[in-house]
Amino acid sequence: MAKDIRKTIRFTADEFQQIQQKLDFAEISFSDFARSAILKKQIKLPIERELIYELNKIGNNLNQIAHRVNKRERKSVLAELVAIEKAVKELAK
C-alpha cells in the first residue's frame, strides 16, 4: 500500500532531542513510531492526577458547605467558601 499522505509536526529542539534519544534506544524510525502510536493508541484527554485530586477536594468542600447550610452553620459556611475560592485560584495559576 502506497503511503502518499504526508503530515507535518513541529517540535522544539529540546523536545526533538528527547524523542530522538528514545528512537535511537528503541532502534525505530520516527515515522514507524508515530504511525504505530497514532493507530494503536486511543485518544484520551490529558487530565492529570493532581487536577483530579484538586477537583475532588473542591467537591468535598462543596458537600461540607451544603451539609452545614442545611444545619444553619453560617460561619463555617463562609470559611468553606473562602477555602474553595483559594483552591480555584490555585488551579487557575
Residues 36 and 61 in one domain: no
Q: For residue range 11-50, list pLDDT tens digits in order.
A: 999 999 999 998 999 899 998 888 888 888 766 666 677 7
- Has residue 83 been placed in a domain? yes
Task: Please compute Rg for the chain using Cα positions.
Answer: 24
Residues 56 and 80 in one domain: yes
Interatomic CA distance for residues 53 and 56, integer angstroms? 5
Q: Are 33 and 20 in contact (CB under 8 A)?
A: no
User: pTM for the whole thing?
Assistant: 0.39
Q: Give the domain extent around 82.
A: 49-92
